[in-house]
Chain A
Amino acid sequence: MSDLVGYLLTGLGIGAGFALVGSGLVVIHRVTGVVNFAQGSFAVLAALLTSTLLGAGLPHGVAEAGGVALGAVAGLIVGVIAIGRPGTSPGTSLIVTLGLGVLAYAIEVLIWGDQPRSFPGLTGVAEIGGARIPAHYLLIIAVAAPVFLFLAWFFARTDLGRALSACSSNRYAARVVGIDVRRMGLLAFLIGGALGGLAGVLTTPVQQVTFDSDVVLIVNGFAAAVLGGLTRPVIALAGGLLLGVAQTLTAGYGGGAYQVEVALVLMLTVMIVQAARTGGIPEPAR
């Protein structure tokens, strides 16, 4: 029993990280229609900068904020390149973000080298329901929960959030009522970058980061986001948590080597079932 509680809480902590990456994907996709392949790079860049800032003697909090800020800036840059040119289709933008993800490799190796890095997070062990788990997992959950509440409030209750949602539901109508669709798209990339950065900063103390960790992050984030059809951040949260718990449970009850497969097969199944139910993705208007 105490094992189970431990696995569940660890899983929720890991899953919250996936959910943050996934929600970044969702925010960008709902406003611009682009699936941002460079989403994992924001997390890696933020984590690497944080490790450097902490190494330079900056206190916790400030260093992490610096990492998240870098993620947001990287998001904005990716947005400018991916959707800045008028008439770039979402399919073209996907390939561009793929290229930017590889470009991030070059920058990361140039500045930080190719060895894995980590930094200490919240130390200590918490005891809940007889299970002893590292306190940092609880910190991840404690930070991610208000972020998701804020996102829900932001999109539903503020003018800016409503403007962003308007772009996603009808681009043309949004432009008619005076919303700058392109600027909203860039804002979405900025928010997506910050969310990706936050994911990297939070999870690095429990999972060390290398320049090519972005592939695992983006695939798990996409798996979380795809549950909600890439449009609903709250379902991305549920998807991420489910994914994290499924992975720690497989790892915990034997089959530790197969946790990657569990997440990926889950994602493939969800996508195939969704496609079968809706009869495939509708053909885009040209």
Chain B
Amino acid sequence: MTAGLLRPASAAGTGRAARWWLAGFTILGLALPPLLPERHLATFVLFALTATVTVGVSLLMGYAGQVSLGQAAFYAIGAYAAGLLAVHGVPSLLGLLLAPVIAAVAAVLLGAPLLRLRGHHLAFATLAVQLILLSLLAQADWAGGAIGLQGIPRLTILGYELREDLGYAYAASLVLALAVLIARNVIVSRAGRALRAAATSETAAAASGVPIGRYRLAVFALSAAMAGLAGGVYAYYLGYLSPGSFPVLLSIEFVVMAVVGGLGTITGPVAGAAVVIVLVQVLNTLATRPGMPGYAPAVLSYAVYAVVLILCVLYLPKGLVPALRRATRATAPDRRQS
């Protein structure tokens, strides 16, 4: 079922161009936050955290050929792990480091039985896992129940407490940079090549001695760890968590961003998250103008996710980044001729 859409762009821009992109993103990540006004700073934190999760989703869908409709579950596990640890007096930095570990362990335990499934079966299984988690969290009094977990302390690094949004913008940038770096190294590694082979033909890859099952589980755990890490920062940033913060729609949003940017590319998920979040923010600003009805922001954001996803899947099946790359490559020889 995964033909076409889920096949990764070959070699996925691991060359010099990608390195320039990475350098550009790093500079942007460092220089942008202090220039942004307070209101947009919150959007930046949201963007960096969402993009971190999306990097994992893109890796999972592009390289392991698995559609996860429950990635927000691991985001929630990381957030709740960090939040609960901090509430019970564990140093917040340790809590942040443990969040991805706990999310990855959960992914291994869940993935061992679930990753036998493929295609739409796996998509529904991951969705079911998230629904079960949300239902359990809403009933768990030790985690705050349906009301939510309150009074999570702020993140403290080496005795310095992060109080301002600016600090969290840098923390989120750092987390995103880490996720991108890990994704890049995985893609160019032996395991990455093996997974790319498996995405083209599983039988051929298995016959060549690729331990597909183990690699699949490893990518699943890695993507969960990325979601968990982002969730940890989210918990300290907001200081409040509830099951309602992690709806099924959030999982779908991650898929939208990954598909829009280009599956299996390094810069794709970052670009996809940026495009979608900026679009939603712009429309949100329009929708909250005086005179607009109260339901306008919700309607517009649903419509944006839906329309962007459908148009992208049907007309740009490889995503924005590969499409742009192809466009620039197509114009390059012309310039040389003239």
Does any Cβ of A come within 8 Å of B4's Cβ? yes
Complex Cα distance, B3 from A284, in Å, reads 8
Complex Cα distance, B181 from A20, in Å, reads 47
B139 and A91 form a contact (CB under 8 A): no
Identify which of B3, B5, B313 contacts A286 (C-beta below 8 A): B3
B1 and A99 form a contact (CB under 8 A): no
Does any Cβ of B come within 8 Å of A202's Cβ? no
Within 8 A of A (CB), among B207-262: 247-249, 252, 255-256, 259
B306 and A102 form a contact (CB under 8 A): yes
Q: How far is the CB of B196 from chain A (nearest CB, A)?
A: 15
Task: Enumerate chain A residues within 8 angstroms of B249, measured Cβ to Cβ.
Answer: 102, 105, 212
Does any Cβ of A come within 8 Å of B19's Cβ? no
Complex Cα distance, B310 from A257, in Å, reads 36
Q: How many of chain A's residues have a CB under 8 angstroms from any CB in B?
A: 46
B313 and A271 form a contact (CB under 8 A): no
B131 and A264 form a contact (CB under 8 A): yes
B116 and A89 form a contact (CB under 8 A): no
Asked, given contacts A219-B124, A283-B203, A286-B3, whether A103 binds B306 with beta carbons under 8 Å apart, the answer is: yes
A109 and B132 form a contact (CB under 8 A): no
Does any Cβ of A come within 8 Å of B303's Cβ? yes
Q: How many of chain B's residues have a CB under 8 angstroms from any CB in A?
A: 51
Look across to chain A and name the residue whose beta carbon is closest to the beta carbon of B134: A260
Task: Enumerate chain A residues within 8 angstroms of B2, measured Cβ to Cβ.
Answer: 89, 91, 284
Within 8 A of B (CB), among A270-286: 271-272, 275-276, 280-281, 283-284, 286
Complex Cα distance, B252 from A272, in Å, reads 23
Asked, given contacts A91-B5, A268-B128, A271-B125, whether A102 binds B119 with beta carbons under 8 Å apart, the answer is: no
A92 and B124 form a contact (CB under 8 A): no
Complex Cα distance, B128 from A267, in Å, reads 9
Complex Cα distance, B224 from A10, in Å, reads 39
Task: Enumerate chain A residues within 8 angstroms of B123, measured Cβ to Cβ.
Answer: 35, 94
Q: How far is the CB of B315 from chain A (nearest CB, A)?
A: 9
Does any Cβ of B come within 8 Å of A58's Cβ? no
B202 and A283 form a contact (CB under 8 A): yes
Does any Cβ of A come within 8 Å of B23's Cβ? no
Task: Enumerate chain A residues within 8 angstroms of B307, measured Cβ to Cβ.
Answer: 99, 103
Complex Cα distance, B6 from A238, in Å, reads 34
Complex Cα distance, B303 from A102, in Å, reads 7
Asked, given contacts A95-B309, A103-B310, A109-B302, whether A89 binds B132 with beta carbons under 8 Å apart, the answer is: no
B128 and A264 form a contact (CB under 8 A): yes
Identify which of A89, A95, A113 contacts B255 (C-beta below 8 A): A95
A276 and B306 form a contact (CB under 8 A): no
Identify which of A99, A110, A267, A272 contacts B124 (C-beta below 8 A): A267
- Please list 8 pairs of residues, one from A and one from B, whose beta carbons are closer than 8 Å in the complex, sorted by A's number: A96-B309, A105-B306, A106-B303, A258-B135, A261-B132, A272-B114, A275-B116, A284-B3
B contacts, CB < 8 Å to A: 1-6, 67, 69, 113-114, 116-121, 123-125, 127-129, 131-132, 135-136, 139, 201-203, 247-249, 252, 255-256, 259, 295, 298-300, 302-303, 305-307, 309-310, 313-314, 317
Other contacts beyond A102-B305, A271-B124: 17, CB < 8 A? A35-B123, A91-B3, A92-B5, A94-B120, A94-B123, A95-B67, A98-B255, A99-B256, A102-B249, A106-B302, A110-B295, A114-B295, A114-B298, A226-B124, A257-B139, A267-B124, A267-B128
